[in-house]
Amino acid sequence: MSGGGKLEGVLRVLGFVLTLVAAIVVRLDKETKVVPYSISPNLPTFDVVVVAKWHYLSDVVVVAKWHYLSAFVYLFAANVIASLYGLLTLTISLANKNRSNILALLITILDLVMVVLLSSSAGAAIAIGIIGYHGNSHVRWNKVCDTFGRFCKQVAAASALSLAGAIVFMLLVILVVVGLQKRPK
């Protein structure tokens, strides 16, 4: 492999690892808490066991699971897609050292698609995370990160890993563009 080929290989491994770890972190995100709950201000409170998982989060339902919150499902799915794509393109780049221009163009376009997919999914998860952290008094959405701190930190970590993966795929696109600039005419 040439110098550019080695850098591409390192970036593809890094993109695969970052997105795989992000998907695993989101998928395993779960926290259980006992919280006081009151139906009415005039009635006494009672303790309820609440479980926060990555697919569902609600202050009305007792069991919270991550897959009912579409932003976290999107974050998980985008990272699974990107990690599978990263593994596939890593295999292709190792097997085909002299790949055709059409294949190189297709991989570059798909690298850019991964940037968009990872960035948008991380943005959606971060937006929900901000609401979870601060709440929204205008629509009576209570903050949940004061209760489910570890859950929120894991979503934040997965979002950061996803954004790092997007940056890696963007660097791969930049590497191709710089390589085109250096080609003899």
Q: What is the pLDDT of residues 106-132, one digit of tens each?
A: 999 999 999 999 999 999 999 998 988
Q: What's the gap between Cα 43 and its chain centre?
A: 41
Cα–Cα distance for residue pair 180/178, rounded to 1 Å: 5
Whether the predicted pLDDT of 141 surpasses 70: yes
Check residue 50 and give its pLDDT.
62
Look at residues 52, 83, 81 and name the one whose alpha carbon lies nearest to residue 66: 52
Phi then psi for 7, rounded to 5 degrees? -65, -40
Residues of the chain with pLDDT > 90: what percent? 51
Q: What is the pLDDT of residues 31-73, one digit of tens each?
A: 776 666 667 777 666 666 666 665 554 444 434 455 657 899 9
Cα–Cα distance for residue pair 42/33, rounded to 1 Å: 24
Check residue 175 and give its pLDDT.
94
Q: Lowest-confidence range among 66-70, 85-89, 152-156, 167-171?
A: 66-70
Tell me the CB-side half-sphere exposure of residue 24, using CA atoms within 13 A. Answer: 7
State which amino acid sits at residue 5.
G
Whether the predicted pLDDT of 81 surpasses 50: yes
Cα–Cα distance for residue pair 133/127, rounded to 1 Å: 10
Q: Lowest-confidence range among 1-15, 63-77, 169-183?
A: 63-77
Decide if 87 contacts 165 (C-beta within 8 A): no
Check residue 4 and give its pLDDT.
63
Q: What is the pLDDT of residues 87-101, one digit of tens each?
A: 999 999 888 777 788
Whether the predicted pLDDT of 1 surpasses 50: no
Check residue 59 and give its pLDDT.
42
Q: What is the value of pTM for the model shown? A: 0.82
Look at residues 153, 127, 120 and name the one whose alpha carbon lies nearest to residue 141: 127
